[in-house]
Structure 1
Amino acid sequence: MQPNILVTGGAGFVGSHLVDALINQDYNLRVLDNFSTGQWENLTHNNDKLEIIKGDVRDLESVMAAIKNVKWIFHQAGFVSAPLSIKQPQISFENNLLGTFNIFEAVRRQGSLARIIFASSAAVYGDNHSLPLHENLPCFPLNPYAFEKNAAEQLAVLYERLYKVSSVALRYFNIYGPRQSASSPYSGVISKFIDQLKKGEKLTIYGDGEQTRDFVYINDVISANLEAMKKVPPGAHLFNVATGKSVTINQLVKSLQKILKTVMAPQYQSSREGDIYRSLADISKISEQLGWYPKWDLAQGLSDWLR
């Protein structure tokens, strides 16, 4: 039987959890990944249940081949580090904007009816002070990564209007959970802090630590993707994926120290260019339209991950 779902970046953090969830629901799966950051071991427990294509979303022909006979496309591949996008803007642009363009263009060229669910980011809002952040606010990207995600959302609207390609953009806030490697430059702050605390190393906080983040557990991110697949009608749609609650980085450190039973004080350094100071999501749209609500608060997610 032909696969009916494609997951790009399926060997990565979010992508591999999506693969697990979709296989558990008996979907036929195909993964497209170049394995530059994704890990084979994230798929080995499922590799007899899916088709794996080693390829790159930056190559249109590879994408064209990967979407054949596919009904749904979960596009998770990309360059996910805002700080690195400042240092390597061309690589970031090619992965995030060209890669996403190729997904939409491949669907258009094949006349496919495949629906696209793709990863956007809260970074598109920039340092917007109109908290909580809702989807109708203007975007003020502070780095290439944020600009590329915002441009991808606009591309989705354009392709729906001109070519009737349907999509859902999910603006992920700060995701954390198992398989988020601490050694990768793409890692989130939680995975890095956990690794440093376990090694007995001093944590580094950029800025005063009072900057806030809306941390969302990987299990909730996956459930949001599945709800988008099952409930969103044709069109170009956009939703925040978060908890609607924020904590400071200093509060996060205290929570981790309590769970890991360590009291090592952090060290503070200057804020990084392109970092957002305040972040808090309004999740009323996804809750009202999809009936999706986060089930994991930060304490529950951390405990589940570190148990």
Structure 2
Amino acid sequence: MLDGYSNKQVLITGGLGFIGSSLARKLVALGAKVTLVDSLIPQYGGNPFNINDILDQVLVNVCDVRDPFAIAYLLRDKDYLFNLAGQTSHLDSMADPQTDLDINAQAQLSLLEACRKVNTDLKIVFASTRQIYGKPDYLPVDEKHPIRPVDVNGINKLAGEWYHLLYNNVYGIRACALRLTNTYGPGMRVKDARQTFLGIWVRLLIEGKPIKVFGDGMQLRDFNYIDDCVDALLLAGASDDSNGKVYNLGSNEVISLKELAGLMVSLESGGAFELIPFPPERKAIDIGDYYSDFSLISRELGWQPRIGLRDGLTRTLAYYRAHHRQYWDETS
């Protein structure tokens, strides 16, 4: 099914970020003609080193998704849009809600309006988040679970998701959304916790510092290695069965954060972890236990996660041991 990407024009917003660059690498291998858009605003995760191995096989346009004229120009001849650009930090969304609104909601509406005006034939896959569910009523969480975001980021990501579904339903612009859960792997932001807590855990381990686990560490989570996330994005883009739908991603492996820290320590000699009290600003938006029911995307698109947690973490730690200078300033 993925053979259909060969010689197709593909635009990836957030293309120099973690997921966008990994997706670009796979699309290049499939024979697609890939254009990457990224603002390279420092706090949002874009890193040119992420595409170092495919730099001469993609086009890169440095611009902001909030620039409607640039985006409209870039959309004109595209067959696929993987819309991954976004502000991902939950704490930043609470400290600066207006910027989060501008990027995760307003810019999404502007982008879809550009599609309506210049290219109604492309297929869009939007990267949404499990954060929109809030604190679960039941586990595992399926797509019918009530939606109750606990922070500004969740509300704005939900708006962005629903704009895509609306334009699918009203204007026939084929679009779907994947609700991602804790994606990790080579290329993720590790200099701080803006993208995922797992990133800063990797950095601390490699620096020989203890991982800091909030609370009692018994919170349950599921994780997807980047290759599995990319496979889901590509399957969703290639199938018209996904049009107008949302899908959870997830894993059959569910683990407490304390167990996860122990696993990571076992993979990095000299590592350690410690339990620390929840910072008040994080406790206020913590969702407790969360793991997904991803049976809908398995049933309809045939997606299954393939990379186990131990294997994925081993690959991730090896990558950052080799390339850490490209991802954080060791003097900071």
TM-score category, normalised to shorter length: over 0.9
TM-score (norm 1): 0.95
Partner of 2:61: 53
Tell me, yes or no, if structure 1 residue 141 matches structure 2 residue 146.
Answer: no
Q: What pairs up with 1:189-268 in 2 under 5 angstroms? A: 189-233=197-241, 235-262=243-270, 264-268=272-276
Once residues 49 and 100 of structure 2 are traced to their aligned partners in structure 1, the CA distance between those partners, rounded to angstroms, is 25
Q: Is 1:118 the equivalent of 2:126?
A: yes
Q: Is the 8 A contact 2:126 2:161 kept in 1?
A: no
Instruction: Give the Cα–Cα distance (whole angstroms) in 2 for the partners of residues 212 and 274 of structure 1.
Output: 16
Q: CA deviation at 1:185?
A: 4.2
Q: Which residue of 1 aligns with 2:21?
A: 16
Aligned partner of 1:57: which letter? V
Instruction: Check whether the contact 1:245–1:281 (CA below 8 A) recurs between aligned residues.
Output: no
Segments of 4+ moved more than 6 angstroms: none
C-alpha separation in 2, matches of 1:162 and 1:235: 12
Amino acid at match of 2:311: Q
Residue 297 in structure 1 maps to residue 308 in structure 2: yes
1:274 corresponds to: 285
Please report the RMSD computed on the Cα atoms of aligned residues, expressed in angstroms: 1.6
Specify the SS of the correspondent of 2:55.
coil
1:32 is aligned to 2:41: no
Structure 2: gaps spanning 5 or more residues: 1-6, 319-332
2: CA distance, partners of 1:93 / 1:184: 22
> How many residues are treated as equivalent by the alignment?
306
TM-aligned CA distance change 1:44 to 1:202, over 3 Å: closer
Whether the 8 Å contact between 2:262 and 2:273 is mirrored in structure 1 is no
- Cα separation, 2, equivalents of 1:129 and 1:234: 26
CA contact (8 A) 2:105 2:160 kept: yes
Unaligned runs of 5+ in 1: none
CA offset at residue 105 of structure 1? 1.2
Query: Cα–Cα, structure 1 residues 293 and 265, in superposed 2: closer, same or farther, change >3 Å?
Result: closer
After TM superposition, the structure 1 = structure 2 runs for residues 42-191 of structure 1, keeping only pairs within 5 Å, are: 42-191=50-199
Deviation (angstroms), 1:304: 2.2
Matched, 1:7 2:12: yes
**2:14·2:36 contact (CA, 8 Å) conserved in 1?**
yes
Judge which range, 89-98 or 43-52, deviates more.
43-52
Q: Quote the Cα distance in structure 2 between the aligned partners of 1:5 and 1:228.
A: 14
Q: Which moved more, 1:111-120 or 1:69-78?
A: 111-120
Q: Which moved more, 1:176-185 or 1:289-298?
A: 176-185
Return the letter of the residue paired with 1:150: L
Q: Deviations over 1:185-223 (max 9, x none)?
A: 423122211211222212222222111111111010001
Q: Which has the higher helix share?
A: 2
Q: Tell me the SS of whatever aligns to 1:251.
A: helix
Q: How many angstroms apart in 2 are the aligned matches of 1:66 and 1:47?
A: 19
| Aligned equivalents of 1:239, 1:101: Cα separation in 2 | 21
Q: Is the 8 A contact 1:119 1:172 kept in 2?
A: yes
Quick one: distance in 1 between partners of 2:240 and 2:262?
39
The match for 1:284 is 295
Describe the SS at the equivalent of 1:112: coil
Letter in 2 for 1:280: Y
Deviation readout 1:219-270 (Å, 9 max, x if unpaired): 1000101111222337311111111432111001100111112353414122
Question: Which range moved further: 123-132 or 149-158?
Answer: 149-158
The secondary structure found in structure 1 opposite 2:54 is coil
Q: Summarize deviations over 1:142-192 as a string: whole Å, max 9, x none.
A: 001111111122212221222111111010000110111211442312221
- When residues 266 and 158 of structure 1 are mapped into structure 2, their CA distance, relative to the original with a 3 A threshold, is same
Q: Is the 8 A contact 1:245 1:280 kept in 2?
A: no
Q: Distance in 2 between matches of 1:99 and 1:12?
A: 18
String of CA shifts for 1:108-166, please: whole Å, max 9, x gaps. Answer: 11142111101100001100121111111110000011111111222122212221111
* More moved, 235-244 vs 173-182: 235-244
Other-structure match for 2:324? none
Q: Structure 2 vs 1, CA of residues 134 and 126 (structure 1 numbering), >3 Å: closer, same or farther? A: same
Change beyond 3 A, Cα 1:301–1:128: same
TM-score, structure 2 length as denominator? 0.88
